[in-house]
Amino acid sequence: MKRQTIAFIVLILCMLGARAEDSIKVSAADLQALVQRVERLEQKAEKDSVSQKVGRKGALTRGPIMDGAGANAIWNITNVTRSDRKYHYLDLNGTIYAGYTSKDPEVQTASGKTEDELYNYLTSKELPAEMTDEEFTQVMVWHRGLAVPAARGVNDEKVLRGKELFTQIGCDYCHRPTWTTGSDEVRDPNNFPLTASMPRYPNQKIWPYTDMIQHKLCMENDIRTGWCRTTPLWGRGLHRKATGDLYEARMHDTRARNVIEAIMWHGYSNQSDAYWPTQQFYKLNKEDRDAVVAFINAI
């Protein structure tokens, strides 16, 4: 049985009210049925992922588009080429992802391209621009004007209890609730010709629930040597409603299918920067754990 399958079964049992230190009694028939159900879901997910292996697309909700580390997010997350970026965003080496992808038989079949054709396409520096300069500027204006979804259930007793516990167990150490923004001077490190009419929103008090710092969580299948930026929590509770996704796509790489699974990944290793708060969460009774989940989903 896959480790992910086992972890998911433990997750379900926790959601049903079992504490980490409790003895859990489950019939062999029920356990086998649960295993089969989870494995069917895994097989479906693997099948559905085949068509997404070429030109991966990702949500634009987790990083700034201009000014700073995320300046080219519309390019390096979506891989949409434009006049100043006529090539794909790849790994730091520039060939590893292209090498593995071009050799994948499923990708070759889905794309109708040979290994050489795929490799040359992925590493080309002279691809046609898929987005015009005008379209890019229009997206910038639109994206900068997007409002963050309002928090839900802010007066609900369960949500308020969860907010209190969120701080008590130390989640807010990395998921810092609030910041005040700066003067909002629009700059593009790549000198893209942004218009002077670009809207500004200076000195805004925001509630993103992130420290904007990279931490080590020491999870299985880590990316980029395991460092990951604290994912902003605001609006994430609306992911399924906004996208129609089957899962909540939590964490920096969307690996977690819901809040509890995301918390479990935080405590995957005792070397994790978030190990202590995760242990405190495990020690809560089910009512309090549910309250923390309700608060996180309400942000």
The residue among 221 and 151 whose pLDDT is bigger is 151
Q: What pLDDT shows up at residue 67?
A: 45
Instruction: DSSP for 163-212, please give it.
Output: HHHHHHTTGGGTS---EE--------TT-----TT-----S-EE------
Q: What are phi and psi for residue 50, nearest 5 degrees?
A: -60, -45
pLDDT tens for residues 262-271?
Answer: 999 999 999 9
The residue among 231 and 9 whose pLDDT is bigger is 231
Asked whether 224 and 234 are in contact (CB, 8 A), the reply is no
pLDDT at 198 over 60: yes
Asked whether 236 and 248 are in contact (CB, 8 A), the reply is yes
pLDDT at 260 over 80: yes
Find the range with the poorest average confidence among 64-68, 206-210, 293-297. Answer: 64-68
Question: Letter for the amino acid at 174?
Answer: C
Query: How would residue 278 be classed by pLDDT, with cut points 50, 70 and 90?
Result: very high
Helix 275-283 vs helix 259-266: crossing angle, to nearest 10: 130
CB-based contacts of 118, cutoff 8 Å, min separation 6: 54, 98, 101, 102, 107, 108, 111
Q: What pLDDT shows up at residue 276?
A: 96
Q: What pLDDT shows up at residue 92?
A: 77
pLDDT tens for residues 78-88?
Answer: 788 888 888 88
pLDDT at 201 over 70: yes
Helix, strand counts (H, E) of the chain:
12, 4
Alpha-carbon dihedral sign for residues 185, 186, 187, 193: negative
